[in-house]
Amino acid sequence: MISTRALESRSEKNDHHARVACKPFSTMLLLLLLLLAFAVQSCGCSCHVSSAAQLITVVLLRTKELVTFFIGVIVTCVIAASFAEVQVVDAIHSVPAYFVLGDSTLDVGENNYLPNAYHANFPPYGETFFHRPTGRFSNGRNVGDFIAQALALPFAPPYLQPNATFYKGVKFASGGSGLLNTTNPGLVRFISLANLSWHKQTLHVKICGFFESYIMCSIIIHRPSIELISRSLFLISVGLNDITFGNLTNPTTQKQYNATQYTNLMLEAYKSGIKVSFHHLPMTLYASGTRKIVLFGEGVDGCEPIVRIQNNSQCVDFFNELALEFEAGLKQLVDEFHVIIPGLHLVLAYQYNIEHDMITNPQSFRLKNATAGCCGAGILNAQYQCGTKVPTNVTGVHQTLCKHPSEYLYWDYIHNTEYVDKVKFQYYWDGNTSFVYPFNLRTLALV
């Protein structure tokens, strides 16, 4: 069982390691003075000296070892503190930029510029941190934002934002995007890893187009650009819509595929966007120089409010099976790529176990509601999207907004609150292999 209290304790220890290590400076100085006084008194009673000079000599001899010891402690403390500080500084400056790919879990406003898409550019989205809607499907920051802050990087803008500055990164994540063509087919397909290799609106074209505008990518990729990209961090979060809407809006999918078959389709699409092939896929992520990639697993998708209302407010086991199979497949993918692609640092950030613990034991995370959305309308606040108008012909249903979003697992019908994303980030940044595999994001930043 994991808990917020334990997490905060571990985080506090990491943040204040150097300060705690060197706190006793004043105490040691006081001890030195007391020991010196004791030595003088002791010698005055038992030592036979004929002059003040001899007294000072004896006192100094008696305190020599103690002084040497404390100097050693002080030097060790300074070195430890310096090392801890260097670690933090190195972690920050080892990543010059970050790039975000995926769906609404990492979208920061890309869909604001896409008319035929899911939107979150209206109140009360963004109210907690930004105090205005930004296009994020949250009341505040998402996991990608917390990672940027940990790296001392600014929030990267969405790729379609006019006159945006991309020097420290860019976000291509678009709400509604999926791995499979059958996911949300009526929406604009801004990101589709399944079509990564050829389609003009696919990921590699957008990435290459961005780098070309800064003389960083052409027919032959220049070495300086490869070095920059290789030090940058790529975040990929996709699969939620394939599992949820790919099945909710297409019931025949459940009849055509079992959990293993469906997740295999998703994983094959994932692989096509990451694997190296300089002849047929010259602009895949790896071929463009990417060496640090974070893959986000899936949460407990079968227990999201929008899924529960289709099943008498109960979780849908099939969706949870898909999420578990998908995360297991991503772990195999990470292991496989570490063997076949040298120098690629692929990290998997688990979500399922964290969310599962939040649902089964919400009190451990100071949550009071792990089933309904904080904002929305209807059953579990999931029948109508947060902030939208309820049709006039629907009676007895009104938009509601909870007073304390940090007490909720879900912000709206499907997305986490900022608080939950912060908890997840903390596990990913400093956690062990139960939460992030094969090592945490702090370590990845230093690679």
Judge contact between 48 and 111, C-beta under 8 A. Answer: no
Return the sign of the alpha-carbon dihedral for residues 185, 211, 108, 120.
negative
Q: Residue 348: is its pLDDT beyond 90?
A: yes
Separation CA 408–CA 411 (nearest Å): 7
Structural tokens at position 322? 């898909």
Judge contact between 167 and 153, C-beta under 8 A. Answer: no
Q: Residue 340: is its pLDDT beyond 90?
A: no
User: What is the number of other CB atoms lying within 10 angstroms of the CB of residue 86?
Assistant: 11
Q: Looking at residues 31-37, what average pLDDT do you find?
A: 50
**pLDDT > 90 fraction of the chain, expressed in percent and rounded:** 49
Q: Looking at residues 228-243, what average pLDDT do you find?
A: 88
Judge contact between 301 and 319, C-beta under 8 A. Answer: yes
The predicted structure's pLDDT at residue 62: 53
Q: What is the CATH number of domain 97-446?
A: 3.40.50.1110
The predicted structure's pLDDT at residue 128: 97
HEC sequence for 17-79 = HHHHHCCCHHHHHHHHHHHHHHHHHHHHHHCCCCCHHHHHHHHHHHHHHHHHHHHHHHHHHHH
Q: Helix, strand or coil for residue 236?
A: strand
Looking at the chain, the domain(s) classified CATH 3.40.50.1110 span 97-446
Rounded to a whole number of angstroms, the distance between the first and last alpha carbons of the chain is 30
The predicted structure's pLDDT at residue 314: 97
The predicted structure's pLDDT at residue 423: 98
Q: What is the pLDDT of residues 383-433, one digit of tens each?
A: 999 999 999 999 999 999 999 999 999 999 999 999 999 999 999 999 999
Structural tokens at position 97? 């930029």
The predicted structure's pLDDT at residue 356: 98
Instruction: Using pLDDT thresholds of 50, 70 and 90, give the confidence band for residue 377.
Output: very high
The predicted structure's pLDDT at residue 177: 85
Separation CA 91–CA 361 (nearest Å): 33
> Considering the chain, what is the average pLDDT of its residues?
77
Q: Residue 179: is its pLDDT beyond 50?
A: yes
More reliable by pLDDT, 212 or 121: 121
The predicted structure's pLDDT at residue 92: 55
Separation CA 302–CA 288 (nearest Å): 36
Judge contact between 113 and 161, C-beta under 8 A. Answer: yes
Q: What is the pLDDT of residues 421-444, one digit of tens each?
A: 999 999 999 999 999 999 999 999
